[in-house]
A and B are shown apart, each in its own frame.
Chain A
Amino acid sequence: MKDLESTKQPMSEVKETTYWKSLNELAQNQEYKEFTEREFPENATELTDGVSRRGFLRVMGASIALAGFAACRRPVQKILPYSKQPENVVQGVPLYYATSMPFQGNLIGLVAENHEGRPTKLEGNEKHPASQGNSSIFNQAAVLALYDPDRSHSPLYNGEKATLEDFTAFAKSHFGNTNQNVVFISEANSSPTYNTLKEQALAKFPNAQWVTYEPFGEENVLEGNRIALGQRLRSYYNFLNADVIVSLNDDVLSATHPNHIEYSKQITSGRKVTSPDDEMNRIYVVEDSFSATGSYADHRLKVKASEIEAFTYALASALSDRVNGLGAFSGHSNQFSDHKWVTVLADELAANAGRSAFSVGSEHSAQTHAAVAAINLALGNVGNTVSYLEVPHVDEQNNSEAFAEAVSAMQSGSVDTVVLVGANPVYNAPADLEFEKALAKVGTVVSLSDYVDETSAKASWHVNRAHFLEAWGDGHSCGGVRSVIQPQIQPLHNGISEIEFLNRIVNGSTETGYELVQDTFANYFTSGFEARWNTLLHDGLDPDTSFDAASVSLSGGFASTMRSATANVSPVSGIEVVVRPDATLYDGRFANLGWLQELPDPMTKITWDNVALMSPATAEELGVENEDVVSVTVNGTSIDIAAWIQPGHVDNSVTLTAGYGREGIGRVATSYIDYTAGGVDTYPLRSTSNMLYASAQVSATGNTYEIACVQDHHSLEGRDMYRQATLEEYKDNPDFASYKEVHGYEVPGLEAAEHNGEDEPISLFNEQAYPDHEPQWGMAIDLNSCFGCGTCIIACQSENNIPVIGKKEVKVGREMHWIRNDRYYVGEDAESPQAVHQPVPCMHCELAPCEQVCPVAATTHSEDGMNQMTYNRCIGTRYCANNCPYKVRRFNFFNYTKEYLTTGDDPDIIQMAMNPDVTVRFRGVMEKCTYCAQRVNRAKIDAKKETGSAKPADGAVKTACQQACPADAIYFGDLTDDNSQVAQMKRNKRNYQMLEELNTRARTSYMAKLRNPNPALA
């Protein structure tokens, strides 16, 4: 038997003899019983289902080895050793492979950490432009998606289990009839292999229609660019060149944005201020609900979503007086024409022509996008801050219209077969299309999906889809870089990828994804295939590939289209309801991932549910408070959802997020343990004419619904944990963030200490000695970069095996995240405050208050300056957590890990997501951020082997949060190295310690936030 601690060590170190009293005892062993029950269904004879006698004995051996200490209270885990050591595998040392993750049709280059054939962690691929070494919450959580035990385990035929061979046979015969009316409904997909198959399908089935449906796609952007520029082009920004960024309701910094990482890196790198001589970009956001981008902006204006279009036209009109090319708008005036912001923005954009970026949220109307394109064109931004890309796989048709037409064809009964490739329209199609009814009128429905989702449940054939880490694939990034998706593991449930699926339907053949992708790349690599293919796999991308930027000019019909559009703007006069993708679940596809359900929303800090966000004034008008259930009615359809007051939200508007209220896809999405969670399905409020906002009636129902919010208090109470200034104030006084400047006097005790020749105030306790040969770890967090997305939290959760605890426990206040992101509202005006984000990991205090009070010395200091937690020694008095002024310690109130890792009928699967380098924690012990001690120590050992010094080179060790952060806000390294990045950051004048007056000597420090306001709006 191996307890948890020891299985997490490299297996080569495991040497243990186990004993049992009798074979009879072994036979009674529960572990053994479960094992046999699971592996061999009842009445099955053991040798008929392909298990060799030798294999059987081998796994039996493992089971017997487990029997020894079955009476122990510690969780029991199984190990299966390699019987032969594979080449290049050193047990306990992970291998790293380049791969990519598709998201909204775009590929994001990643590197997978692979432990003995088991991917456990994803990081960004530094060479890939869409990730540049960083990642998003969805990238991080993809590992959990792979090991989600609720994924579909097999194809289903009319709800009955079937095999893949059955499906292949069906596809061959059913799609042999090429004259049938087939509708293909697919997700956005940039894969060249996939699009080749799509062409083949359309060629093979003359009566086929292919529709790409994404509930939150880029259709309006493409249409808008067609209106303005004559072609369906993708707007692709380069914020690096932008001094002024104006975002109209475009949450570019949100993980839901299709190019979130690249844009986040660009925008935040324009704000890396290292000295008072540096300049910063300036960000203006006009939006309805408070978004992460809005909180990051220098200026934020709240405007109803339905008024954004009018605002755009007013701005275009104001700009038409200042620059050429916007004649279509000259003379237009509406309610915003006299708005101060319109004048200021027009001045600012005109002054920064060619160095400004102007964008609008993708869900806004095509006409709005057309106006934005015209403005960017008129400002000369095209080619500098924005380019318009010709994307080969983008359809010529307007997919929103095509989808509606296809559904009405289905409704009329003229469609014989519907093939759904990953799409889930029963759940997320606009409600007025009545997709589910239409689907019922179709003879054969074939659906490929990860889960037996709402659509697959209605399909005649459901095929379980392979996760991207299980199957070969290819595709393009948002900007067009071509990459492959390299699988890391054999499909756990024998699923197939979308290209293998389509290949079965179109060609009736069962070629592997590997062959299909190689065939595609054979077209690109016409010479030296082998070498180039290997480079492609190694680097994760085909270098020097991108989509071509179109050379654009205003199309002829633009002016007339705009004249009619500007004449017909009709904002919602009463209460508008806006449906957006959820910041943590996107459109619902991630709803069964506990990490994301439990990730606090960047702004509301709510977990496990969606809510109806509204301003304080609107809430007062409706007579509701937080957690009061309101009924939201749009065109006769209503849903009941808990209200939540969002300071800074525009009045007379309610924001809902989609992605919740999923049915039957898994235990996490619908309810977790015994508590109601999982939120409300908001798609019924969307219709083809009201995809973003609609006029709504909102009323209180008198009921309440509990919401698990991780932060109850939203004001800083005038305290100095978070320090910020304007760029100008910083230039005047670079020391503004120091304790002395904030308080007007020096840190208590410091002057006396300096008088005595000491560096720091005295301590009552013995100080840890830090020998010269050890590195001294420290962290600096740049608040000027952080916009609160939460990627650090999920990266840490993935790296450090942090359990998901469920809504009930979060509600009690026992969240386990080792790094949290505090969000405070700042400012006098509760109706439009500023919001700030502050990631808080363990401070690794040199004089750690937690260490002094532990009665059993379970938390101690290391020679390299880390505050360590020895789980084995911890008895769980929680005194350390009480005495931590930063409240970063997390206690296992229950056996969370066991619950988390053993729920469901197939617990072995989710256990595979665990990082073997990190101990899982048992009930009753304290845990906290370790500065990723496992990474640090691996780097130290490697450095010692290579250089003889225990000090790794700067950058050789990155903490999980640092590595993932798409804003590069976290710096970590050796403080004894004067040239290390973190040491340089700590010398920055903006650097300050949280609660410095407590003399804890925190190793984690912060760099104060700067804002760059426009004096004209002050």
Chain B
Amino acid sequence: MSKYEYVKEPALVKGDHDFSSLTRLVTDINLRPTPKAWYVAMIGANTLLFVMIAAIGYLIWEGTGIWGLTNPVGWGWAIINFVWWVGIGHAGTLISAILFLFRQDWRTAINRFAEAMTIFAVMCAGVFPAIHVGRIWVIYWVFPIPNQMQMWPNFNSPLLWDVFAVSTYFTVSLLFWYVGLVPDLATIRDRATSKIRKICYGIFSLGWTGSNRHWWNYEKAYMILAGLATPLVLSVHTIVSFDFAVSMIPGWHTTIFPPYFVAGAIFSGFAMVLTLMLVARKIYGMKDIMTNDHMEKMNIIILVTGSMVGFAYMMEFFIAWYSGVEYEKAIFMLRATGPYAWAYWTMMTCNVLSPQFFWFKKLRRSVGFTFFISIVVNIGMWFERFVITVTSLANDYLPSSWDYYSPTIWDVLTYVGTFGLFFTMFLLFLRFLPMVALAEIKAVTPQADPHNYDEETKEFIPPKVEVPEPQAQKV
């Protein structure tokens, strides 16, 4: 025996599931009659969606002035919300693409779910840059469309980079998600009994038969898209951070922004996945698939990224002091002690302090505590964007222009309303699409790797599944 004992990974799927029971567990949700609770949730989400539509309608009718924006503070909640929602989206791509390339099999339980969240979050995010402009009816000028003026947009502008980054991100995420869905859609098609379902799922499963060639094409396509999506995880929030970093406002003009924004995005994205997952697995009885092991792994990522973000906060302070630039020094002191100190310390508490509890294994595995922290983290990350966007603009170079920004009811309603869009989409997803990547998860169950022989005698033995419990492990 070696000095080091081989510690077996805990099984990724708990319970004594076979392929068929997994198929039932996941696809029955889509096939059985719609539960009443779903309708109740859908009415709630639709109400919020209507609030968003009304708030946007009034905005377009009346003008950007309905928001609390002022002369020094040209960007407020809209941009904060945009960055926040885009950031949330990052977890999905990270889980599905990067963890796929790194062969992290535990991702299979949550990747579908997280990718759906990504797409809907990016949709919510996309609302804001579109509506925050003064003249929404000419927003298409930001696209490089050939026109009679022979005029291109300004390729120097980070906002233009944003347009490309976010639209590419959305497109790739959507494709990636859809490619992954194809085998599972075929599964539902095969199980569906009503004609309409057969036709609809049939169309979207693109004639999938599960042939060897289909699988071969599928695997290649999935791999390529994962490869494409991986740099996007890093690039999108890098470019979003350029909106700030490329400008010359103290507190924005910072080279640390790209990594710091990406870390923050993953941080908030994992928190959001956890928030949604913990609710969904409870309601849909998915505890066997989305296990506490998954939760713990994600909490570790939250701890790591949260600490990175905290480190970035401190580096910002250090660099502001070290640079000797008086405006940089002033803005960081003002953030911590000035008129927005309440927002700054909310951010610090939520983002830096709260994830540190995850050093404790007990807390990492506590469902209630994780749920609580996942929400705290997202509040904190919203405030991070608030602190960056608002404080820098409110207190920049000329003290004469300093002003205090406060949102109006319309800022709040538009933000709250995007949750309506998000949850409407998410509820539709839960209802009509398999929330777990069935084809993928089947491949990582203990049953998929049966070992039906004795390792020493090489004799056949009946299948016997060992499900080591994580509690037995030593860390």
Contact = CB atoms under 8 A, between A and B. Distances in A.
Interface of A: 711-719, 721, 765, 809, 812-815, 820, 822-824, 838, 840, 849, 852-857, 873-879, 881-883, 885-887, 890-895, 922-926, 995, 998
Contacts of A820: 400
A924 B327 CA distance: 30
A922 B243 CA distance: 26
A857 B65 contact: no
A890 B71 contact: yes
A856 B68 CA distance: 25
Contact of A995 (B73, B243, B397): B397
A886 B399 CA distance: 10
B134 A892 contact: yes
Interface in B243-266: 243, 246-249
A324 to B, nearest CB: 50
30 contacts: A712-B402, A718-B326, A809-B65, A812-B70, A820-B400, A823-B400, A824-B399, A838-B400, A840-B400, A849-B247, A853-B159, A853-B246, A855-B142, A855-B159, A855-B160, A857-B152, A875-B134, A876-B133, A876-B135, A877-B133, A878-B74, A879-B159, A887-B71, A887-B398, A887-B401, A891-B64, A892-B134, A924-B133, A925-B135, A926-B134
Contacts of A874: 134-135
Contacts of A716: 399
B62 interface: yes
B353 interface: no
Interface in B81-116: none
B157 A854 contact: yes
A855 B165 CA distance: 14
Contacts of A879: 74-75, 157, 159, 243, 247
A894 B62 contact: yes
A885 B248 contact: yes
A886 B398 contact: yes
B153 interface: yes
B138 interface: yes
Contacts of A715: 399
Interface of B: 62-65, 68-75, 132-136, 138-139, 141-142, 151-154, 156-160, 163, 243, 246-249, 326-327, 330, 393, 396-404
The 4 closest A-B pairs by CB, nearest first: A876-B134, A924-B134, A893-B65, A813-B70
Nearest to A878: B74
B402 A882 contact: no
Contacts of A815: 71
Contacts of A895: 63
A717 B397 CA distance: 10
A822 B402 CA distance: 11
A811 to B, nearest CB: 10
Contact of A812 (B68, B154, B163, B398): B68
Given A719-B399, A887-B398, A995-B397, A853 B157 contact: yes
A814 B71 contact: yes
B64 A875 contact: no
Contacts of B62: 894
Nearest to A1000: B248
A815 B249 CA distance: 21
Contacts of A856: 141-142, 153-154
Kindly name the residue among A714, A924, A925 whose own CB sees the greatest number of chain B CB atoms within 10 A: A924
Given A712-B403, A857-B151, A883-B249, A717 B330 contact: yes
B404 A712 contact: yes
A894 B65 contact: yes
B141 A875 contact: yes
A924 B249 contact: no
B237 to A, nearest CB: 18
Given A824-B400, A856-B154, A882-B247, A875 B68 contact: no
B157 A925 contact: no
Contacts of A822: 398, 400
Contacts of B326: 718-719
A813 B151 CA distance: 34
Given A855-B160, A875-B138, A813 B133 contact: no
B63 A893 contact: yes
A883 B152 CA distance: 21
Contacts of B243: 879
Contact of B248 (A717, A878, A926, A998): A998
A882 B249 CA distance: 8
Contacts of B138: 875
A875 B142 contact: yes
Nearest to B327: A719
B63 A894 contact: yes
A883 B399 CA distance: 15
Given A854-B157, A875-B138, A892-B134, A883 B71 contact: no
Contacts of B248: 849, 883, 885, 998
A924 B135 contact: yes
A105 to B, nearest CB: 37
Nearest to A872: B138
B404 to A, nearest CB: 7
Given A713-B399, A765-B156, A882-B74, A924 B141 contact: no
Contacts of B398: 719, 721, 822, 840, 885-887
A878 B133 CA distance: 8
A882 B75 contact: yes
Contacts of A893: 63-65, 69, 134
B71 A853 contact: no
B134 A857 contact: no
A923 B63 contact: yes
B457 to A, nearest CB: 71
Given A875-B139, A887-B396, A925 B74 contact: no
A923 B402 CA distance: 24
B159 A857 contact: no
A882 B70 CA distance: 11
A765 to B, nearest CB: 7
Contacts of A894: 62-63, 65
Contact of B75 (A875, A878, A887): A878
B196 to A, nearest CB: 42
A813 B399 contact: no
A987 to B, nearest CB: 26
B154 A814 contact: no
Contacts of B142: 855-856, 875
B64 A876 contact: yes
Nearest to A873: B141
A875 B403 contact: no
Contacts of A713: 399-400, 402
Contact of A883 (B132, B135, B141, B247): B247
Given A717-B399, A886-B397, A894-B62, A923 B134 contact: yes
A855 B64 contact: no
B441 to A, nearest CB: 43
A357 B364 CA distance: 82
A601 to B, nearest CB: 15
B403 A891 contact: no
